[in-house]
Chain A
Amino acid sequence: MKIADVNTVFGFFPKRKIDCSLERLISLIEKYRISKVLTISLKSAFYNYVEGNEETLRVCNGDSRLIPVASVDPRAYLGGLDEIEELRKRGFRAVRLFTEFQSYPIDYAPLLRLFKNLEGMDLPLLIYNTGYGLMTKVVRETRGRGYPVIMLGCSYSALSEFIVLSIENPHLYIETSLLDTPDAFELLTRKVGSSRIIFGSGIPLNYFESSYLMVERAEISEHDKELILYYNLEDLLKGFP
């Protein structure tokens, strides 16, 4: 089956010794025959998002498998609308927030402005779920703004929150890397539909086959697996380059 991965990174990881280089990412893409990845430089998470965005664009320009994701760090964002419009014009296909590393709350003025400024940009927003209630606040602030929100890093503790929210919020999606209960895919497919589930692995920080095997061995239809592994993301991005 074709694979598109919404959750990959490259660069340098300062918190422990691990090879996160672009070369490592590409070797994993080739090993696991991944067709497309959304990817972003870790420089955006740990150092400076403007420089990180430049690096992301530069490496993605040379390889059609790599789809550039921009980041905005609310701790440094001054609320400019032009800056966000520029991201779209320059070819970024999504925006990612590194809530898992940057520790700001959702109820935070620069972030609330960013949520507003993303209106009309048609860029999916990727956010890492860091605990109970975060998803509820994100949905409250992004409802009706016209762009999809993909929650990354959701495990068993996020399932009920996602299911309850997604029924009334069609812009909400869930990424698969930590969907680790024995019947998460069966439950989500039944309750909210497979169209709301987007495959992601977190490589090279994570082991790839955990995420893949959970989809491959799920007791859902082959059609649902194809949607989750590839076509849902393609639809969301209105086609891959």
Chain B
Amino acid sequence: MSIPIIDAHAHYGKWFFPIYASDMRSIKDLMLRFNMKAAICSSSKAIVYNLIEGNRELFQSLDPSSGIYGYVTVNPNYLELSKDETKRYLELPEFRGVKFHTTYSGVPIDSKEFRELIEYAEPYDKPFLLHTYSQKDVRDVENLAKRFGGVKFIMGHMGGTETSWTGKNWKSAISASSEYSNIYLEICMTHLEAGKIEEAVERVGSQRILYGSDMTLLNPAHTIGMIMSSEISKEDKERIFYINARGLFKI
């Protein structure tokens, strides 16, 4: 890979699948293998289990000198704790954003609790990475983007895919992003549906599309290959791989 990469959607920690490349050394190896200059990681433990333990372990492992930055993970089921976590970590330069996963917490993206957390974190001026894997998730992000015009929202997985094979989730995400300039699209997902990146670039423009790997769950090559295969210009690829994230995360 000659093009440098910033990974806007990475994780640190284990998953409940047979994956052994989950520690910081593995992340650094993967970054080297794929010419990644930086990766913004959230804790898998904080997402699927305990936000306090997970955020703490992530903080102890971050290494900005190697390009490894963090998202603080919030769980609106624990509103006050999430506010404490936000305050504790977003003040630090190692943390470049907030991560929220609606599926594992069971809290909708456009919920009273999460809106309260956004209001709390807004002064830090750091983006929110939101897991989106349904049309409802996309609609929820649209609502938030409208309500919080000064906050930047990253739609993780670009709305995702579903078993209908229609692409309707990511098509909805593209529509939402074309409507609201504070919605960014991050494109990693297991399914490799050809054409989605071209459609996103055509309708949104490459300036608000971000490369994300989803490592340590997914292989960085998976999404790199999607971008390499997509029929867009070299300049668009450079923006998606590197330039957009450098600006968004102030790296």
Contact = CB atoms under 8 A, between A and B. Distances in A.
B143 interface: no
A159 B229 contact: no
A51 interface: no
B219 A214 contact: yes
B149 interface: no
A209 interface: yes
Nearest to A209: B225
Nearest to A178: B190
A15 B165 contact: yes
Interface string B213-251: 001111111111110111000000000000000000000
Contacts of B17: 156-157, 159-160, 181
B30 to A, nearest CB: 6
B60 interface: no
Interface size class of B (residues with CB under 8 A): 35 or more
Interface in A65-120: 100-101
B48 to A, nearest CB: 14
Interface in A1-55: 15-18
A177 interface: yes
A16 B167 contact: yes
B217 A177 contact: no
A124 to B, nearest CB: 23
B21 interface: yes
A156 B17 CA distance: 7
A187 B216 CA distance: 14
A156 B18 CA distance: 8
B158 to A, nearest CB: 14
Interface string A152-163: 000111011001
Given A181-B219, A182-B26, A217-B221, A203 B194 contact: yes
A212 interface: yes
Q: Is the interface of B mostly helix, strand, loop or mixed?
A: loop
Interface string B165-191: 111000100000000000000000011
A180 B217 CA distance: 8
B225 A210 contact: yes
Contact of B190 (A155, A160, A182, A207): A155
Nearest to A20: B194
B193 A205 contact: yes
- The residue in B18, B20, B33, B171 that gathers the most chain A C-beta atoms within 10 A of its C-beta is B18
B150 interface: no
Given A178-B191, A182-B218, A205-B194, A210 B229 contact: yes
Contacts of A217: 33-34, 221
Given A16-B165, A163-B18, A210 B218 contact: no
B164 interface: yes
B195 interface: yes
B194 A18 contact: yes
Contacts of B79: none
B218 A180 contact: yes
A165 interface: no
A182 B165 contact: no
A76 B77 CA distance: 50
Given A18-B195, A182-B19, A205-B193, A213 B221 contact: yes
Top 5 A-B residue pairs of the complex, sorted by shortest distance between their CB atoms: A210-B225, A209-B225, A206-B192, A207-B229, A213-B221
18 contacts: A16-B195, A156-B17, A156-B190, A178-B190, A181-B17, A181-B19, A182-B218, A182-B219, A183-B19, A204-B194, A207-B192, A207-B229, A209-B228, A210-B221, A210-B229, A213-B222, A213-B228, A216-B221
Given A207-B230, A210-B225, 10 more contacts: A16-B167, A156-B190, A178-B190, A181-B18, A182-B26, A182-B219, A183-B21, A207-B194, A208-B225, A212-B225
Interface of B: 15, 17-21, 26, 30, 33-34, 163-167, 171, 190-195, 215-226, 228-230
Interface of A: 15-18, 100-101, 130, 155-157, 159-160, 163, 177-178, 180-184, 187, 202-214, 216-217
